[in-house]
A and B are shown apart, each in its own frame.
Chain A
Amino acid sequence: MQRISNRLRRAVAPGLLVFAMGHGVPALASDQAAFEVAYDAGQAARKAAAAVGHEWRDTKKMLSDAKKLAEKSDFEAAIALAERAKRQGELGVIQAEHEEKVWMDAVLK
Chain B
Amino acid sequence: MRTVRILLAALLSSYLAFGPSVSLAGSPEEDREAFQNFYKERFPNTPFEDFANGIYSIDKERRQEWEQMEEFPQYELDIDAGEALFHKKFANGKGFADCFPDYETGVRQNYPHWDPKRGEVVTMEWAINLCLEENGEKPLKYNRGPLAEISAYLAYLSRGHVIDVKVPKDDPRALAAYEDGKRFYYTRRGQLNFSCASCHVHTSGLKLRSDLLSPALGQVSHFPVYRKKWSAVGTLHRRYGGCNRQVRAASFKPQSRQYRNLEYFHTYMSNGIRLNGPGGRQ
In whole angstroms, what is the CA distance A59 to B189 when docked?
A: 14
Residues of B with C-beta under 8 A to A60: 250
Number of interface residues of B (CB under 8 A): 30
Contact, CB under 8 Å: A56 / B182: no
Interface string of A73-109 (1 = CB under 8 A from B): 0000000000000001001000100010001101111
**Known: A95-B188, A103-B188, A106-B195. Contact between A57 and B248, CB under 8 A?**
yes
Query: Is B144 in contact with chain A by the CB < 8 A criterion?
Result: no
Residues of A with C-beta under 8 A to B187: 99, 103
Query: Is B249 in contact with chain A by the CB < 8 A criterion?
Result: yes
Interface magnitude class on chain A: 10 to 19
Interface string of B176-220 (1 = CB under 8 A from A): 000000110011111101010110011000000000000000000
In whole angstroms, what is the CA distance A3 to B35 when docked?
A: 93
Contact, CB under 8 Å: B258 / A108: no
Contact, CB under 8 Å: B250 / A95: no
Which residue of chain A has the shortest Cβ distance to B216 in the bound complex?
A108
B221-258 contacts to A (CB < 8 Å): 244-245, 248-252, 258
Stretch of B23-31, B75-83, B135-143 contacting A (4+ beta carbons < 8 Å): B23-31
In whole angstroms, what is the CA distance A28 to B258 when docked?
A: 44
Query: Is A54 in contact with chain B by the CB < 8 A criterion?
Result: yes
Q: In angstroms, how far is the closest chain A Cβ from the Cβ of B96? A: 33
Contact, CB under 8 Å: A107 / B24: yes
Which residue of chain B has the shortest Cβ distance to A56 in the bound complex?
B191
In whole angstroms, what is the CA distance A15 to B236 when docked?
A: 65
List B residues at the A interface (Cβ < 8 Å).
23-26, 31, 34-35, 38, 182-183, 186-191, 193, 195, 197-198, 201-202, 244-245, 248-252, 258
12 other contacts beyond A95-B193, A106-B197, with CB at 8 A cut-off?
A: A56-B191, A56-B250, A99-B187, A106-B195, A106-B201, A107-B31, A107-B186, A108-B31, A108-B34, A108-B35, A108-B201, A109-B34
26 contacts between A and B (CB under 8 A): A50-B250, A53-B258, A54-B249, A55-B249, A56-B190, A56-B191, A56-B249, A57-B244, A57-B249, A57-B250, A57-B251, A88-B191, A91-B191, A95-B188, A95-B189, A99-B189, A103-B183, A103-B188, A103-B195, A104-B186, A106-B202, A107-B26, A107-B186, A108-B31, A108-B34, A109-B34
List A residues at the B interface (Cβ < 8 Å).
50, 53-60, 88, 91, 95, 99, 103-104, 106-109
